[in-house]
Copies of this chain bind each other. A is one copy, B any other.
Amino acid sequence: MTTDRDALAALVTNLKTHAPLDRDDCEAITALPATRRTMEPLSYLVREGEPPPTHCSVLLGGFAFRQKLSGEGTRQILSVHLPGEALDFQLLFLDCADHNVQALTRVELANVPRAAIRQLMEERPGVARAVINKMLVEASISREWLLNVGRRDARTRLAHFLCEFALRVDLQGVKGNGGYELPMTQEQIGDALGLTSVHVNRTLRVLEGEGLLRRSGRKVVFPQWQELRRVADFSALYLHLANPPLALQPVY
């Protein structure tokens, strides 16, 4: 299981972003039983209305997202997840999934038994604390998204989304130098922002025209990061980062 120990190291790193973990806590987490799994884009990892899976998924590679559908079939994307993140904390203690979780790209997952995580939380307050913090930070992010979707116009909204993603990608060290690859179609971005894909397209071009953004394919670069942040009304407060990051001023 050596490989899997390494696997969960990404989770430890991620948890440390929001809470301290001592040596033993880290050890205990990496020692959790885990098996690997690969899944294709758009595979469902959790389905609304069903009991949550008995095994929690930790993203080792690729991206995933949460989603709900309205009665009319329109979709709202609720969050996007990066490598290192656990996908099931929001359902860890609930009996019924209230939303869907899907792979965005092809994903590499580590599967950890739900019971093992819950037990570890009882045994180790530090682990409990870290998991709870992660739950709370995710809740904080969805509050910010609610503000974003409810009260900001398309340009600000999109810019805000790009800032958040840039920062999170940066923190996970996923980025290639000089920018990052958006793993989403414009339709998916629209579903995350409460916009149509057509309007996302136009708004991207507006930002591009203003010089706040350069694109080639899905690769985006931000030539004026600080100005973009200003336009986006972006403050990283809601991400509750433990160590105030230099990353707040990435030089793209």
**Residues of A near any B CB (own CB < 8 A):** 19, 48-49, 66, 68, 70-72, 74-76, 78, 90-96, 98-99, 122, 125, 128-129, 132-133, 135-140, 142-147, 149-152, 156, 193-194, 233, 237-238, 240
Contact = CB atoms under 8 A, between A and B. Distances in A.
Nearest to A153: B72
A143 B68 contact: yes
A76 B70 CA distance: 21
Contacts of A68: 143-144, 146-147
B76 A150 contact: yes
Given A70-B147, A142-B142, A149-B149, 4 more contacts: A48-B237, A76-B146, A90-B140, A96-B237
Contact of A66 (B78, B93, B143): B143
Number of copies of chain A assembled together:
2
Contacts of A146: 68, 76, 78, 142, 145-146, 149
Contacts of A75: 151
Contact of A136 (B94, B150, B151, B237): B94
A49 B238 CA distance: 9
B49 A237 contact: yes
B143 A143 contact: no
Nearest to A79: B143
Q: Which 9 A-B pairs have the closest CB atoms?
A: A150-B194, A71-B233, A139-B139, A76-B147, A98-B238, A74-B151, A76-B150, A98-B140, A68-B147
Interface centre among A49, A142, A144 (most CB of B within 10 A): A142
